[in-house]
Structure 1
Amino acid sequence: MDAFQLDARIGRDSTLIKRLGLCQLRLQDDSRWPWLVMVPERAGMSEIFELSSEDRALLNAEVAKVGAALKQVTGATKINIAAIGNIVRQLHVHVIARFEGDPNWPGPVWGFGQAVPYADAAEKTMFNDKLIEALS
């Protein structure tokens, strides 16, 4: 079996926050929304149903925990969770904090405008630290 390798596009567009039991938890480099990407560290996976039943249960638990932590840290109106993968086929789950009045509310974040990278490394680090604390 092949070893897990992170898709280069995910690696380019996000930074690792923490490794969970199954997933890499990553911050998408788009400051318009607190946007997390969870990537199960399993080689060759593109669909949730391809995971073993144990890994599906673990993914569900990790997504729930991350979603709750993101809501706690941001006070978001809504947490959007999606595993689309039409462009990047590697299995990954988006967990995005949305707020009434944010760019493109209530529409989807995909394909809306251009990403706005984090300009302030300290802001990014502070967010990551708060999220890690909320996950503890």
Structure 2
Amino acid sequence: MPQFTIDHRLERDGLLIATLGLCQLRINNDRRWPWLVLIPQRNDLSEVFELAPLDQAVLTFESNMVASALKKATGATKINVGALGNIVRQLHVHVIARVEGDANWPGPVWGFETPEPWENDAREAFAARILENL
């Protein structure tokens, strides 16, 4: 199998915290929202339906597992899950915890004001909470 190559923007914007069965799990570098990104380790794909059927099932399982861990770790009002890919075409799935009254509730997180990078200690503590809940 060829080596997996990640889009430089996904690598730049997210800290790798775990490799699951199919996906890399990364924390998006915007502390305004607890925001995780799942990146299936398959090259040259931009759509979920392009995955092999077994990989589609694994992606669903891993997305649900991560969403549940994020909900437990944050007590969020709502967990948003989406695979948009309009800017970064490489297949990836956003898993975002939303809370009533957050920075842009109930509007979207994309393109809202300026991202606020995590401080290293806070991001590592958040990553540890996610891993504890997986």
Alignment TM-score, normalising by the size of structure 2: 0.97
Matching residue's letter, 1:60? T
1:71 alignment counterpart: 71
Note the C-alpha offset of 1:130.
1.1
Alignment TM-score, normalising by the size of structure 1: 0.96
5+ residue gaps, structure 2, are: none
5+ residue gaps, structure 1, are: none
Instruction: Detail structure 1 runs of 4+ shifted over 3 Å in the superposition.
Output: none
Are the aligned partners of 1:4 and 1:44 in contact in 2 as well (CA < 8 Å)? no
Aligned-partner Cα distance in 1 for 2:2–2:18: 23
Matching residue's letter, 2:38? M
Aligned-partner Cα distance in 2 for 1:101–1:86: 27
Aligned residues: 134
- Aligned identity (percent) is 56
2:123 alignment counterpart: 124
> Alignment partner of 1:132: what SS?
helix
Note the C-alpha offset of 1:114.
1.0
Aligned-partner Cα distance in 2 for 1:21–1:49: 18
Matching residue's letter, 1:32? R
Note the C-alpha offset of 1:3.
3.1
Aligned-partner Cα distance in 2 for 1:19–1:36: 13
Residue by residue over 1:98-119, the C-alpha shift from the partner in whole angstroms, topping out at 9 and shown as x without a partner, is 0000011001101111110012
User: Which runs of structure 2 are paired with 1:45-84 in the superposition (5 Å)?
Assistant: 45-84=45-84
RMSD: 0.9
Matching residue's letter, 1:103? A
